[in-house]
Amino acid sequence: MTHITNRLHNIGIIGLGYVGLPLAVEFGKKFKVVGFDISNRRIQELAIGNDHTLETNTDELKNVTRQLSQDTGVYFTSDVNDLKSCNTFIVTVPTPVDQYNNPDLTPLLKATETIAGVLKKGGIIIYESTVYPGCTEDDCIPILEKKSGLTYNVDFFCGYSPERINPGDKTRSLPTIKKITSGSTPESAVIINQLYQSIITAGTYLASSIKVAEAAKIIENAQRDINIAFVNELAKIFSLLEIDTNEVLEAASTKWNFLPFKPGLVGGHCIGVDPYYLAQKATSAGYYPEIILSGRRINDSMGVYIADTVVKLMLKKQINIWHADVLVLGITFKENCPDVRNTKVVDIIREFKSYKTNITIYDPWANCEQVQHEYGINCLDELPLNKTYDAVILAVSHQKFLEIDFKSLLKQPGVLYDVKGILETSIVDGRL
């Protein structure tokens, strides 16, 4: 067996997005890191200290960026050959679903092939991308063995340490979030755990196996998804009963063990995706997961529900829907964050387009070029001046939106709908 103790970690991080870049920055403070991404554009922007995800800042990037020969810091590259100097690899690529909500492992498997091409004896590969239990050992390791010609748990070792990055959260940064770790052998598990302990001030939790660590990650997000689905269903019920959902939740939260979830759109790269990975694995094992998929159906229906609710409010005010002017405020998947991955605001927009309305989308946080590329939707990063609308939908609770004079945006009559429940009840016509 290859001896892997007392190693000097030369780290290669595969994928420099919301997860990989903060990880590279933190490890770069103590180790030699190669930050690899297939996007030349991403490497070029990082080289000049620009991070469009806003998870790091220019000073941080400039302080940690290094030349290839230096002993610590991060060397950003899109050249696979630069990974040949690494003996520890961390995979942080996205794991999305396809149009049918089936897991799409393409980025993960391609990243695995990349590592296999430069893997040497004694190498350790750690996966952070969210997957179903068993994916690392069943899908990734066979590729590593076949392409590298090395033997698993003899010549190289694996681990899984699920990412827990919360995009846009400046309070819970990477070092302050407890990290689950695991390894394919007791020896490699200890080494991987110690590696993360070097940067995670909140501490680590060493799971008993890779599968346990994979499962722990997947249920974190599935649990949140189900809880949000419950309050989304409540919002639909209370709307029919003409009861304010937020007032009900506020009253119920006076009990010590009431969970403070709120209704809303459930998108993003984790909560809106991960339950499908668990559901697919459960189904392949012979069990149909009723609660998990029921929660997904409810949450996936909310965009259409919101659009239809606003249309009904407009009709009550005798506003002609055909070619009505509608303003949607926000298209990112969450507040005060530029991340538009799997945003469910697009469901509202598409439903309104089916009514042939004139839609304006304004989001000061979003990269409108990325929105156009991902969804074929035009958005604005500045609010048009002196324009009024038949309906205004506050879809994302960006702090900047609280500065808006909503009365000046509305035609008379007009409809103001608050998806996030952050505006005064007296000025809105409806909210979840």
Q: Active-site positions?
A: 270
CB 266 within 8 A of CB 345: no
Q: Letter for the amino acid at 398?
A: H
CA distance 271 to 289: 16
Phi, psi of 40 (to 5 degrees): -60, -35
| Three-state DSSP class for residue 416 | strand
Q: Is 264 exposed, middle or buried (0-12, 13-18, 19+ CB in 10 A)?
A: buried
CA distance 336 to 343: 14
Q: Any bridge partners for residue 328, and if so which?
A: 361, 393
Q: How many CB atoms lie within 10 A of CB 182?
A: 27
Look at phi and psi of residue 248 and say left if phi exceeds 0, alpha if psi is from -120 to 50, else beta: alpha
| Three-state DSSP class for residue 172 | coil
Phi, psi of 18 (to 5 degrees): -60, -30
Q: List Cα–Cα distances, 179 to 125, 159, 273, 333, in angstroms.
A: 17, 13, 21, 24
Q: List Cα–Cα distances, 421 to 397, 402, 410, 418, in angstroms.
A: 9, 12, 18, 5
Phi, psi of 353 (to 5 degrees): -65, -30
The conformation of residue 407, written as its DSSP 8-state character, comes to H
The conformation of residue 118, written as its DSSP 8-state character, comes to T
Q: Letter for the amino acid at 275?
A: P
**Cα torsion through 171, 174, 178, 181, rounded to 10:** 170
